[in-house]
Amino acid sequence: MAKLVINNEKICDKEAFIKICPFGALEIKDGTVDVNDACKMCRLCVRKGPEGAAEVIEGQVKTIDKSAWKGIAVYVDHEDGEIHPVTLELIGKARELADKINHPVYCIFVGAGIGDKARELLHYGVDNIYIYDHEAFKHFRIDVYTSAFEDFIKNIMPTAILVGATNVGRQLAPRVAARFRTGLTADCTVLDIRDNTDLVQIRPAFGGNIMAEIHTPNARPQLATVRYKVMNAPERNSKARGKVTVCDLSNVVLESDIDVIDNVEKAREKFIENADVLVVAGRGVKSQDDLNMIRELADLLGGEVACTRPLIELGWFDAKKQIGLSGRTVRPKLIITCGVSGSVQFAAGMNNSEMIVAINKDDKAPIFKIAHYGIVGDLYEILPRLIAKIKAEKGA
């Protein structure tokens, strides 16, 4: 890793020198110029400062034997043994990546009494499921789960690990990555792999204005989290293949610093990710009262109401209702957008929907580029007629 070194003896005017840095990374301490954590390694001080006042010393890049790491692993996210569907989506992607480099697909399943649940995953193309089954794993506790994950990585050495971007996955993946001093890319939307087993991880950055391609070439394992509904789940095979391996717990820390006193079940919420039909309110909706016709249409179709980011900022909706890169990713059978322009950030969160119907009075709105059916017109004229039509059909 490169390091910036300041040679104070070559600086005549220290006050002028520190002003070169636009990030405020240069400061004077006890009469000498020092570099703080704000340094971006832009090297502006090297180019514009006195000759030799600042220099960059390139560090030695640590290399790794990539051939020693084999397999694409998926963390099995579950609640009391009930497997989260994001796991199946990640298994499908893992199979696709593994076939490109002729590697196996593994699963790591940590819990209590999970043997039968683990065997179900053998119907989805997994080569080996490693289970850590113990009463200590009955409830999710970050320390003991990390210990099991660490044991799995040390023994199996998978080249890449995919984790669902759930509440559990978002806690567990960073801790595991830190323990192995490796990279973690969060909320990936595209995954690919090179012949040298480097995982190509693509995710939105800078508010969705660019798509960043991230690699971890000098560390293993490579970790990535993926949101639910981003990848395609494979079809269930009638015949199970692969095997289940019960892991030895002798090297796993089972004693936890966390005590689970009680488990209180929350009331089940209706999440827009699970809805088959969505009606989306956009910036074209003029007032909060006008959302009633959006809700009425959704109710008639047996669906849920969702929205775009501007309506969240107005305080009209809870953030859980937002679709887009900074919201939720959805893949319903039918989505009707009402007054939605269709920004890149929004489209990335719903463009895999089976049927997209767009209503917008601007015929050049970007939403029409991805819609299967587009209606150019005022939603205040179209929605009442559409609602009346559906009511008439239901009455008939």
Q: At 325, is the pLDDT very low, low, confident or very high (cuts 50, 70, 90)?
A: confident
Report which of residues 384 and 207 the model is more confident about.
384
Tell me, yes or no, whether 329 lies in a domain: yes
Q: In what order do the strands lie in the sheet with 190-193?
A: 190-193, 199-205, 210-214
- How would you classify the pairing of strands 3-6 and 54-57? antiparallel
Q: What is the pLDDT of residues 271-303, one digit of tens each?
A: 899 999 999 999 999 999 999 999 999 999 999
Residue 93 shares a structural domain with residue 220: yes
Beta strands in 227-326 (DSSP E): 243-246, 277-281, 304-307
C-alpha neighbours within 13 Å on the C-beta side of residue 76: 31
The pLDDT of residue 374:
96
**Residue 252, in any domain of the structure:** no
Q: Residue 219 burial (CB < 10 Å; 0-12/13-18/19+)?
A: middle
- Both 165 and 293 in a single domain? no
Interval 358-368 mean pLDDT: 96
Is the domain of 37 the same as that of 101? no
Task: Name the percent of the chain lying above pLDDT 70.
Answer: 99
Pair 144, 198 in one domain: yes
- Determine the average pLDDT of the residues in 308-316: 95
Largest CA distance in the chain: 90
pLDDT at 83: 96
User: Does 231 fall in a domain?
Assistant: yes
State whether 44 and 88 are in the same domain: no
Per-residue burial over 23-40, b if 16 or more Cβ lie within 10 Å, else e, is eebbeeeeeebebeeebe
Residues facing residue 54 across a β-bridge: 6
Domain check: are 81 and 45 in the same one? no
Which residue is it, tokens 């209180």?
264
Kindly report the number of other CB atoms within 10 A of residue 344's CB atom. 16
Q: Rounded to whole angstroms, how far apart are CA atoms 168 and 162?
A: 13
Q: Are the C-beta atoms of residues 374 and 392 closer than 8 Å to each other?
A: no
Q: Is residue 335 part of a domain?
A: yes
Domain count of the chain?
3
Cα–Cα distance measured from residue 216 to residue 185, given in angstroms and rounded to the nearest whole number: 9
Q: Any idea which residue has 């008439």 for tokens?
A: 392
Q: Are residues 218 and 170 in the same domain?
A: yes
* Residues near 295 by beta carbon (within 8 Å), at least 6 away in sequence: 279, 305
Q: Is the pLDDT confidence value at 149 over 70?
A: yes
pLDDT at residue number 1? 67
Beta bridge mates, 373 = 357
CA distance 32 to 374: 65
- Here the CATH number for the domain that contains residue 52 is 3.30.70.20
- Provide the mean pLDDT of the chain: 93
| CATH code of the domain covering residue 195 | 3.40.50.620
| Rounded alpha-carbon distances, angstroms, from residue 79 to 70, 115, 148 | 29, 14, 17
Whether 113 maps to a domain, the answer reads yes
Residues listed for the chain: 396
**Which token pair is 142?**
């970050």
> Is-contact 224 163, C-beta < 8 A?
yes
The reply to whether 251 falls in a domain is no
> Mind listing the pLDDT tens digit for each residue in 60-105?
777 899 999 999 999 999 998 899 999 999 999 999 999 999 999 9
Of 20, 37, 57, the residue that ends a domain is 57
> Residue 260: inside a domain, yes or no?
no
Count of beta carbons in the 10 Å neighbourhood of residue 319? 11
Instruction: Confirm if 105 and 127 have CB atoms less than 8 A apart.
Output: yes
User: For residues 360 and 368, what is the distance between their CA atoms, to the nearest angstrom?
Assistant: 9
In a domain, 52, yes or no: yes
- pLDDT at 207 > cutoff 80: no
Kindly state whether residues 163 and 276 are assigned to the same domain. no
CATH number for the domain harbouring residue 337 = 3.40.50.1220
Query: Distance (Å, rounded) from C-alpha 68 to C-alpha 220?
Result: 10
Lowest mean pLDDT among 150-159, 180-189, 201-210, 330-339: 201-210
Q: Do 276 and 379 have their domain in common?
A: yes
Question: Tell me, what's the pLDDT at 396?
Answer: 57
- Both tokens assigned to 283: 């910036």
pLDDT of 365 above 70: yes
Q: What pLDDT sits at residue 202?
A: 94
* Same domain (yes/no): 233, 364: no
**C-alpha–C-alpha distance, residues 177 and 188, integer Å:** 16
Is the domain of 227 the same as that of 317? no
Task: Classify residue 263 as exposed, middle or buried by CB count within 10 Å of its CB (0-12, 13-18, 19+).
Answer: exposed
* Predicted pLDDT at 61: 72
Confidence bin at 6 (pLDDT 50/70/90): very high
What domain range is 349 assigned to?
Answer: 272-395
Predicted local confidence at residue 201, as pLDDT:
97
51 with 129, same domain? no
